[in-house]
Amino acid sequence: MTNKSFLKISRFIVVISMFFFGMNISAQEKQKVDIESGYLERRPDFPDAAIYTKDEAGQVYIVHEGVEMWCDQAFVYLKDNFVKAYGSVRISQGDTISMNSKYAEYNGNTQFAFASGDVVLTEPKTTLKTDTLYFDRIKQQAYYRTGGTVQDTSSVLTSRSGRYFAESKKYQFLSNVKIINPKYTVNSNQLDFYSETGTAYLYGPSTIVSETSTVYCERGYYDTRGDTGYFVKNSKVDYENRTLYGDSIYFDRNKSFASATNNIRVLDTINKSVIRGHYAEVFREKDSVFITKRAVAITVRDGDSIYVHADTLRVTGKPENRVVKGFYRARLFKPGKVGDDPTSGKCDSIYVNEKRGITKLLRNPVLWSGENQMTGDTI
């Protein structure tokens, strides 16, 4: 045999040895499930299974790499490192996650668990209930596909399918997601919920409905415990007689307050008026609106429109007694009906009482109508 042939054979033997040696190490790394307690029996109809049943000392107790399992009866397939558990099954992972069910399966090689029948997954802040649940210990993720309910400290969340990420303590809900709270109801296409903070992130068309308001957005978040939220993308807040639109909206339920930034519209559905600007604050209980940054109020009266502009506009009062006040560099414009001359004016501040139909121009006012001009201390 030549030296060249000998070297080729030697390399082949080394490669084969490393392959089988690697397989042996890999096989050794798969720790077998350990049955700590239970009455053992062998049955001819289950030749591959060691059957353990609870006894006077208690339930069957199984341990595997940080996971503990209790059940009334267990079929343990030692060759496959696989367990089928029946009756009052409880699987616990440290002090973080506990899962109860009528039936469960556990694969010691893949560390994958399956549970069915009145499944309850408990973690420090929430409780998940479903009919069927899958749990991947390696990924630290649990998921369901047949509908589930999560009980939080303040709300109940339901969805068609969902996934729980144990490391980040996040639930990801998909399809027909709903949050039911004594104060409101949330509906969304997709929702991420963090159990530590109670914060819900909304994706797709979503609504938050209560007795006093309705919020709509296509992206945003809501603090289910603090009752505050921030909404973007086609967001709006509907109160009893006002609707607030904006590129981004902040909402505080406890203070009956909402603020909006950029491309603002506040629509008064009773008085047929609208206010525009780039920043607004709405106080529902005070019937008050504050708006600034290119603020303009448009009111329809007797078939004609009145435009009021100022650096800052404030609208106060009940729907039947609205008052508009404009501060700093105020402007007024009234197109007039067909055949009438348009009217315009400027002043330092302006006052409009919608119920009485009175408009006051204050401090250095000037009013034009056709070819006429009027000045004075107050008009």
Domain ranges for the chain, please list them: 31-122
Which of these, 293, 309, 298, 311, lies nearest to 354 by C-alpha position? Answer: 298
Mean pLDDT value across residues 88-94: 91
Query: Using CA atoms, how far apart are residues 299 and 286, in angstroms rounded to an integer?
Result: 21
For 176, the token pair is 């027909």
What's residue 20's pLDDT? Answer: 38
Q: Are 152 and 125 in contact (CB under 8 A)?
A: yes
Mean pLDDT value across residues 345-372: 84
Mean pLDDT value across residues 61-84: 90
Torsion angle in degrees (nearest 10) through CA of 160, 161, 166, 171: -50
What's residue 153's pLDDT? Answer: 87
Torsion angle in degrees (nearest 10) through CA of 260, 264, 268, 269: -100
Q: How many CA atoms lie within 13 A of 372 on its CB side?
A: 6
Query: Which whole-number Å values give the CA distances from 321 to 7, 267, 270, 326, in the listed order?
Result: 101, 16, 11, 17
| Type of residue numbered 67 | V
pLDDT of residue 209 exceeding 50: yes
For 358, the token pair is 């009175």
Class (C level, CATH) for 31-122: mainly beta
Q: The dihedral of CA 367, 369, 374, 379: what is its sign? A: negative
Per-residue confidence band for 5, with pLDDT thresholds at 50, 70 and 90: very low
* pLDDT tens by residue, 252-282: 999 999 999 999 999 887 777 889 999 999 9
Which of these, 58, 59, 40, 57, lies nearest to 49 by C-alpha position? Answer: 40
Per-residue confidence band for 102, with pLDDT thresholds at 50, 70 and 90: very high
Q: Are 161 and 232 in contact (CB under 8 A)?
A: no
* Residue 84: partners with Cβ closer than 8 Å, 6 or more residues away: 74, 75, 77, 103, 104, 105
Per-residue confidence band for 342, with pLDDT thresholds at 50, 70 and 90: confident
Helix (H) or strand (E) holding 12: helix 3-29
pLDDT of residue 202 exceeding 80: yes
Task: Count the neighbouring beta carbons within 10 Å of the beta carbon of residue 32.
Answer: 13
% of the chain residues with pLDDT over 90: 46
* Residue 291: partners with Cβ closer than 8 Å, 6 or more residues away: 264, 266, 275, 276, 277, 279, 280, 281, 312, 313, 314, 315
More confident residue, 349 or 23: 349
Q: Residue 23 — φ and ψ, nearest 5°?
A: -65, -40
pLDDT of residue 353 exceeding 90: no
What's residue 36's pLDDT? Answer: 66
Say which residue the tokens 């496959």 belong to.
Answer: 80
pLDDT of residue 12 exceeding 70: no
pLDDT of residue 226 exceeding 50: yes
| Type of residue numbered 159 | S
pLDDT of residue 18 exceeding 70: no
Q: Which of 13-22, 23-32, 81-90, 196-205 has the lowest mean pLDDT?
A: 13-22
358 Cα distance to chain centroid: 47
* pLDDT tens by residue, 175-199: 889 999 999 999 999 999 999 999 9
Average of per-residue pLDDT values in the chain: 85
Query: Using CA atoms, how far apart are residues 112 and 129, in angstroms rounded to an integer?
Result: 19
Q: Residue 321 — φ and ψ, nearest 5°?
A: -145, 55
DSSP track, 265-291? EEEETTTTEEEEEEEEEEETTTTEEEE
Task: Count the neighbouring beta carbons within 10 Å of the beta carbon of residue 183.
Answer: 14
Query: Using CA atoms, how far apart are residues 222 and 152, in angstroms rounded to an integer?
Result: 14
Q: The dihedral of CA 316, 322, 327, 333: what is its sign? A: positive
Per-residue confidence band for 43, with pLDDT thresholds at 50, 70 and 90: confident
For 140, the token pair is 């630290």
DSSP track, 94-110? TTTEEEEEEEEEEETTT
More confident residue, 197 or 29: 197
pLDDT of residue 93 exceeding 60: yes
Burial string for 185-198 (b: 16+ CB within 10 Å, else e) reads ebebeebbbbbeeb
pLDDT of residue 15 exceeding 60: no
Q: Which of 109-118, 159-168, 278-287 has the lowest mean pLDDT?
A: 278-287
280 Cα distance to chain centroid: 25
Q: Which of 106-115, 198-207, 215-224, 329-338 has the lowest mean pLDDT?
A: 329-338
